[in-house]
C-alpha cells in the first residue's frame, strides 16, 4: 500500500466555525491519505463533519489547523493564486441534491461550460461546444440537451448534468457529497455505475461522502467512519464490514437495513453510547491496529480491540 | 390468512385533472389489509403508492377523485364519502398517517404539547387539563425524555428524530386502528431510522394497530414487513409474504428493483439497472406497463394486460411469465443468489 502514490494527504486537519464562546469545532485532528485511483468513503451521521472535510479540500471552507497536501503540495491556508486556480480545476465536487444544485435560469450548455469560461479553457466557440457535447455523451445524455433548462430533466438526468459539469474541468480528484441519496431507487444503480465507469476511464480518485454504509460498501476501496468530527475507524471496505472494532462502527453497521428479511429479523440493534470512553487520564491515540486498519482509542481500549482480533 | 380483512380496496381508480388533461394515477388497484399485520408498499416515485393510501383517508388533492371501485372499511364503502364531515369520522380516529418530513409536518408556531392536545381534543372529546395530561402521556410513550418540560417547547427545539417521534405521537394519540406511515424515515439518519422503526413496532404491539408502510427502501421493508405489495405505474404488480417477495419474486419489476440494489451488488461488476422511464399515465397504457423497460418482455406483454397468477395461496404476481403457456423464464442471478449470498456473510455488527 505504502508505495502507492498519495494524491491527497490530510494532516491533523482542524476546521472550526465561529470564535470565542461560539466556537464550534466541526473537524478535529483528522488524518487521511487518499491514494491515486481509489474511492475513499467517509461515513457518518448528519453533523459529523464529513461534508466539511470535503469542502476543506476543495477550499470552500478555510482550515483552522493542520494542513492538506495535494500531490505533495500544501493547498490549505494561504497559497499562491496560480496554485489556487489549479486546485479549483483539479478538485471538483458533485453535490447531493440535483434539484437544488443547478442554476434554474441557465441552460445546460452554460451550466456545464461555466468552469471552462471562467478559466478560459477553450480555444474558440466551436471548441467549447465540442467539449460540452462530448462530456454530455460521456455521462449518458444527448448533445441536444445542451439547449434545455434544468427543469426539463428528471432527478437522475440532473445528477448527470452535475457530474458533467464537474468532469469537463478534467479533474483528478472528485468529492462526491452524497451523490445518490436524493435519487430514486431505480436511478441510484445507474448513477453508481456511471461514477464507477468514469473512475476507470478517466483514472479519477473519489472522496465519496455518505451516511448509508451499505451503499458505500459496493463502491469504496477504503472507508473512514467519522463521529463528531473525529475519524474513529478506517479500514479497507471488506475488512471494516467483516471485522468492525470501534463501538460506533458496530452501531452504525447494525442500524443499516439489509434487504434480506431473514437476516434483518435476526439482527440486533446496537446503540452507541459515547460515555463508555473514559479519556480523562488515558489519552486516546490514532493507532494502526492491523495493517491498513486504523482505530481511535486509548491504551486500554486498544488492548481490548487486540484481544477481539485474536479471538476471531 | 383466513381472517377477514379489516380494510378491503377493490378495483380503485383515481384520476387527477391537470390543465384539462386527465392523469390516471391509480389504475384498478386492489388491496386487502388484515388486522394486526404490517404491510409494506414499495415502488419508485410516481408509482402511486402515496396517492393510493391517501385515498383511504380522503386526503387526495382537490383536483383528484376516486372514479371507480370501492374501499370497504367497517362495513361501509368509504370511497363514496363526499364531505369532510364524513371523512372526519375516520381520519385521525380510525386511520391516521405519519408523513415523510418531520421538518414540515409540525406547526412551527405552536408548542409541541398543544399540537398533540389539539388532535386529542378533536378526536377523543377530552378537554383542557385532561387532554394536556394525555398529551404528555403520549410524549412519554414515544420515548421523549422529560416530557413535561418538552411539551412546552417549540418544534425548532427538537431534532429531526425527536420531531418524527412527536408526529407519531400525534398520529397515534387517538388509538387508530390503522396507521399509515408514508416514508417515515427517509429524511432521517440511519441510526435514528432504526430507532424510529423500533418505536413504531413497539407502539403497534402495544396499541394493536395495523400498519401500512410506504417506502422505497427495501432494507426497511425487510426489517418491518409481514407482507409486501409492489406498485408500478398505478397498479400493484405483485404481493405476498415478505420472504416470498425477497426470495421468490416473479414480477420482472420486482426483479429489477431487487437486483439494482447496491447492497446486493458484486464489487467490480456493474449493477443491473432499470433503464427507461415509467409510462406516461396521461395516456392509456396498453399491455403490461413495465414491458417497455423489460429486456425479457414477451410479445403478449405489449398487447394485453396480464391478470394475477398465484404463486402460493398468499403470493400473486401480475405477469404473463406465470401463465402455463409462457416460455420458461429464469429469475435473475441476483435473486437466486440473494439467500445464499447473504447467508454466507456474517450478520454485520455482531
User: What's the confidence (pLDDT) of residue A130?
Assistant: 94
Cα nearest neighbour of A245 on chain B: B349
B72-103 residues labelled b (16+ CB within 10 A) or e (exposed): bbeeeebbebeeeeebeebbbbbbbbbbbbbe
SS3 A28: strand
Average pLDDT over residues A242-251: 92
Interface test with A, best of B223, B278, B348 (most A CBs within 10 A): B348
Closest of A228, A209, A254, A232 to residue B195, by C-alpha: A254
pLDDT digits (tens, 9 = 90+) for B21-79: 899 999 999 999 999 999 999 988 888 999 999 999 998 888 999 999 999 998 999 99
User: What's the confidence (pLDDT) of residue A249?
Assistant: 93
Domain boundaries, chain B: 5-225, 230-344
Q: How far apart are CA A221 and CA A236, in angstroms?
A: 6
Residue B230 and residue B42 in contact, taking contact as beta carbons nearer than 8 Å: yes
Torsions phi, psi of B19, nearest 5?
Answer: 45, 50
Q: How far apart are CA B179 and CA A167, in angstroms?
A: 46
pLDDT digits (tens, 9 = 90+) for B142-153: 999 899 999 999
User: What's the confidence (pLDDT) of residue A3?
Assistant: 66
Cα-based angle B325, B328, B331 (whole degrees, multiple of 5): 135
Average pLDDT over residues A247-268: 87
Say if the Cβ atoms of A244 and B349 lie within 8 Å. yes
Torsions phi, psi of A91, nearest 5?
Answer: -115, 110
Q: Which residues contact B257 (CB under 8 A, 6 or more apart)?
A: A185, A186, B42, B44, B218, B230, B274
Closest of B146, B173, B174, B45 to residue B100, by C-alpha: B45
Q: How far apart are CA A162 and CA B294, in angstroms?
A: 28
pLDDT digits (tens, 9 = 90+) for B288-315: 999 998 888 888 999 999 999 999 999 9
Q: Which residues contact A264 (CB under 8 A, 6 or more apart)?
A: A257, A258, B219, B222, B223
Say if the Cβ atoms of A218 and B260 lie within 8 Å. no
Q: How many CB atoms lie within 10 A of CB A304?
A: 11
| Contacts of B273-277 spanning 24+ positions with Cβ under 8 A | B273/A186, B273/A189, B273/A190, B273/A193, B274/A186, B274/A189, B274/A190, B275/A190, B277/A154
Residue B127: all three cell numbers together: 378537554
Interface test with A, best of B164, B190, B196 (most A CBs within 10 A): B190
pLDDT digits (tens, 9 = 90+) for A190-235: 899 999 999 999 999 999 998 878 788 889 999 999 999 999 999 9
pLDDT digits (tens, 9 = 90+) for B182-203: 988 887 888 888 889 999 999 9
**pTM recorded for the entire structure:** 0.86
In chain B the beta strands, taken as DSSP E runs, fall at: 5-18, 21-34, 38-42, 64-73, 76-77, 95-98, 178-182, 210-215, 227-232, 235-241, 309-312, 315-317
Which chain B residues touch A254 with a CB distance below 8 Å?
A: 194, 348-350
User: What's the confidence (pLDDT) of residue A63?
Assistant: 92
Q: How far apart are CA B306 and CA A32, in angstroms?
A: 55
Q: What one-character DSSP code corresponds to residue B145?
A: S
Q: How far apart are CA B85 and CA B187, in angstroms?
A: 32
Residue B231: all three cell numbers together: 406498485
Average pLDDT over residues A274-288: 87
CA distance, residue B73 to nearest chain A CA (Å): 30
Residue A17: all three cell numbers together: 466555525
Domain B230-344, CATH number (from 3.40.50.300, 3.10.20.340, 3.40.50.980, 1.10.1530.10): 3.40.50.300
Strands B210-215 and B178-182, by their bridges, are parallel
Say if the Cβ atoms of A218 and B346 lie within 8 Å. no
Say if the Cβ atoms of A262 and B243 lie within 8 Å. yes
**pLDDT of B343 above 80:** no
Residue A161 and residue A130 in contact, taking contact as beta carbons nearer than 8 Å: no
SS3 for B233-299 is CCEEEEEEEHHHHHHCCCCHHHHHHHHCCHHHCCCCCCCCCCCCCCCCCCCCCCCCCCHHHCCCCCH
| Domains B5-225 and B230-344 are alike in CATH topology | yes
User: What's the confidence (pLDDT) of residue B221?
Assistant: 93
Q: How far apart are CA B25 and CA B28, in angstroms?
A: 10
User: What's the confidence (pLDDT) of residue A46?
Assistant: 83
Interface test with B, best of A97, A185, A213 (most B CBs within 10 A): A185
Say if the Cβ atoms of A241 and B194 lie within 8 Å. no
Torsions phi, psi of A31, nearest 5?
Answer: -120, 115
Query: What element of type H or E holds A167?
Result: helix A155-167
Cα nearest neighbour of B267 on chain A: A218
CATH of the domain spanning B5-225: 3.40.50.300
Expressed in angstroms, the distance from the first to the final Cα of chain B is 35
User: What's the confidence (pLDDT) of residue B27?
Assistant: 92
Average pLDDT over residues B341-349: 43
Q: How far apart are CA B327 and CA B321, in angstroms?
A: 7
User: What is each CA distance from B182 to B44, B98, B201, B212, B239, in whole angstroms?
Assistant: 13, 6, 15, 8, 18
**pLDDT of B346 above 50:** no
CA distance, residue B158 to nearest chain A CA (Å): 15
User: What's the confidence (pLDDT) of residue B1?
Assistant: 47
Of A184, A214, A268, Cβ closest to residue B262: A214
User: What's the confidence (pLDDT) of residue B174?
Assistant: 86
All domains of chain A, ordered by start, with CATH? 6-276 (3.40.50.300)
Of B221, B265, B273, Cβ closest to residue A190: B273
pLDDT band of residue B339 (cuts 50, 70, 90) is low
Residue B200 and residue B211 in contact, taking contact as beta carbons nearer than 8 Å: yes
- Give me the interface pTM, i.e. the ipTM: 0.81
Of A256, A259, A272, Cβ closest to residue B264: A259
Of B222, B260, B275, Cβ closest to residue A260: B222
Say if the Cβ atoms of B342 and A186 lie within 8 Å. no
pLDDT band of residue A1 (cuts 50, 70, 90) is very low
Cα-based angle B330, B332, B336 (whole degrees, multiple of 5): 95
Of B193, B267, B272, Cβ closest to residue A218: B267
User: What's the confidence (pLDDT) of residue B341?
Assistant: 55
User: What's the confidence (pLDDT) of residue B345?
Assistant: 45
Q: Enumerate helices (H) and strands (E) in chain A, giving the number of each.
A: 11, 12
Amino acid at each position: 500500500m505504502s508505495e502507492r502514490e498519495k494524491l491527497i494527504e490530510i494532516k491533523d486537519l482542524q476546521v472550526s466555525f465561529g470564535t470565542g464562546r461560539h466556537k464550534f469545532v466541526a473537524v478535529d485532528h483528522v488524518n487521511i491519505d487518499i491514494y491515486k485511483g481509489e474511492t475513499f468513503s467517509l461515513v457518518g451521521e448528519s453533523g459529523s463533519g464529513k461534508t466539511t472535510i470535503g469542502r476543506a479540500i476543495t477550499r470552500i471552507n478555510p482550515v483552522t489547523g493542520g494542513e492538506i497536501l495535494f500531490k505533495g503540495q500544501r493547498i490549505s491556508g494561504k497559497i499562491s493564486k496560480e496554485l489556487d486556480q489549479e486546485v479549483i480545476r483539479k478538485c471538483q465536487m458533485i453535490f447531493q441534491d440535483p434539484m437544488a444544485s443547478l442554476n434554474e435560469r441557465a441552460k445546460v450548455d452554460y451550466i456545464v461550460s461555466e468552469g471552462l469560461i471562467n478559466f478560459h479553457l477553450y480555444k474558440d466557440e466551436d471548441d467549447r461546444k465540442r467539449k460540452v457535447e462530448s462530456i454530455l455523451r460521456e455521462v449518458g445524455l444527448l448533445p441536444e440537451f445542451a439547449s434545455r433548462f434544468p427543469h426539463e430533466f428528471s432527478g437522475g438526468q440532473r445528477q448527470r448534468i452535475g457530474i458533467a459539469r464537474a468532469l469537463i474541468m478534467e479533474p483528478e480528484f472528485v468529492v462526491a457529497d452524497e451523490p445518490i441519496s436524493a435519487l430514486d431507487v431505480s436511478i441510484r444503480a445507474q448513477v453508481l455505475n456511471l461514477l464507477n465507469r468514469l473512475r476507470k476511464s478517466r483514472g479519477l480518485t473519489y472522496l465519496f461522502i455518505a451516511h448509508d454504509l451499505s451503499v458505500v460498501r459496493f463502491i469504496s476501496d477504503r472507508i473512514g467512519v467519522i463521529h463528531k468530527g473525529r475519524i474513529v475507524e478506517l479500514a479497507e471496505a471488506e475488512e471494516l464490514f467483516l471485522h468492525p472494532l470501534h463501538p460506533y462502527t458496530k452501531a452504525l453497521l447494525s442500524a443499516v437495513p439489509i434487504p434480506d428479511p431473514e437476516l434483518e429479523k435476526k439482527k440486533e440493534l446496537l446503540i452507541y453510547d459515547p460515555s463508555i470512553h473514559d479519556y480523562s487520564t488515558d489519552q486516546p491515540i490514532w493507532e494502526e491496529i492491523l495493517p491498513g486498519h486504523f482505530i481511535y482509542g486509548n491504551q486500554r481500549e486498544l488492548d481490548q480491540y487486540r484481544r477481539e482480533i485474536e479471538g476471531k | 390468512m383466513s381472517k377477514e380483512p379489516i380494510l378491503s380496496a377493490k378495483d380503485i381508480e383515481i384520476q387527477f385533472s391537470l390543465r384539462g388533461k386527465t392523469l390516471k394515477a391509480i389504475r384498478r388497484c386492489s388491496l386487502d389489509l388484515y388486522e394486526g399485520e404490517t404491510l409494506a408498499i414499495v415502488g419508485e416515485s410516481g408509482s402511486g403508492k402515496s396517492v393510493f393510501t391517501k385515498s383511504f383517508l380522503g386526503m387526495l388533492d382537490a383536483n383528484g377523485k376516486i372514479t371507480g371501485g370501492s374501499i370497504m372499511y367497517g362495513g361501509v364503502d368509504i370511497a363514496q364519502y363526499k364531505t369532510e364531515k364524513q371523512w372526519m369520522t375516520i381520519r385521525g380516529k380510525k386511520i391516521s398517517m405519519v408523513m415523510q418530513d418531520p421538518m414540515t409536518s409540525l406547526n412551527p408556531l405552536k408548542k409541541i404539547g398543544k399540537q398533540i392536545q389539539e388532535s386529542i381534543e378533536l378526536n377523543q372529546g377530552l378537554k383542557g387539563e385532561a387532554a394536556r395530561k394525555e398529551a404528555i402521556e403520549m410524549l412519554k410513550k414515544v420515548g421523549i425524555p422529560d416530557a413535561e418540560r418538552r411539551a412546552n417547547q417549540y418544534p425548532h427545539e427538537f431534532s429531526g428524530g425527536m420531531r418524527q417521534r412527536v408526529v407519531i405521537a400525534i398520529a397515534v394519540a387517538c388509538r387508530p386502528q390503522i396507521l399509515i406511515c408514508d416514508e417515515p424515515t427517509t429524511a432521517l439518519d440511519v441510526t435514528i431510522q432504526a430507532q424510529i422503526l423500533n418505536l413504531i413496532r413497539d407502539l403497534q404491539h402495544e396499541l394493536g394497530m395495523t400498519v401500512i408502510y410506504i417506502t422505497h427502501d427495501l432494507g426497511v421493508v425487510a426489517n418491518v414487513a409481514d407482507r409486501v405489495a409492489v406498485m408500478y405505474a398505478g397498479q400493484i404488480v405483485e404481493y405476498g409474504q415478505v420472504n416470498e417477495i425477497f426470495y421468490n419474486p416473479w414480477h420482472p419489476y420486482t426483479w429489477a428493483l431487487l437486483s439494482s440494489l447496491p447492497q446486493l451488488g458484486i464489487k467490480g461488476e456493474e449493477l443491473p439497472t432499470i433503464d427507461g422511464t415509467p409510462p406516461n399515465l396521461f395516456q392509456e397504457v396498453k399491455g403490461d406497463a413495465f414491458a417497455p423497460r423489460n429486456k425479457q418482455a414477451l410479445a403478449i406483454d405489449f398487447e394485453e394486460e396480464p391478470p394475477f397468477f398465484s404463486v402460493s395461496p398468499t403470493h400473486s404476481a401480475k405477469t404473463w411469465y406465470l401463465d402455463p403457456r409462457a416460455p420458461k423464464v429464469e429469475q435473475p442471478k441476483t435473486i437466486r443468489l440473494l439467500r445464499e449470498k447473504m447467508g454466507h456473510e456474517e450478520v454485520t455488527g455482531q
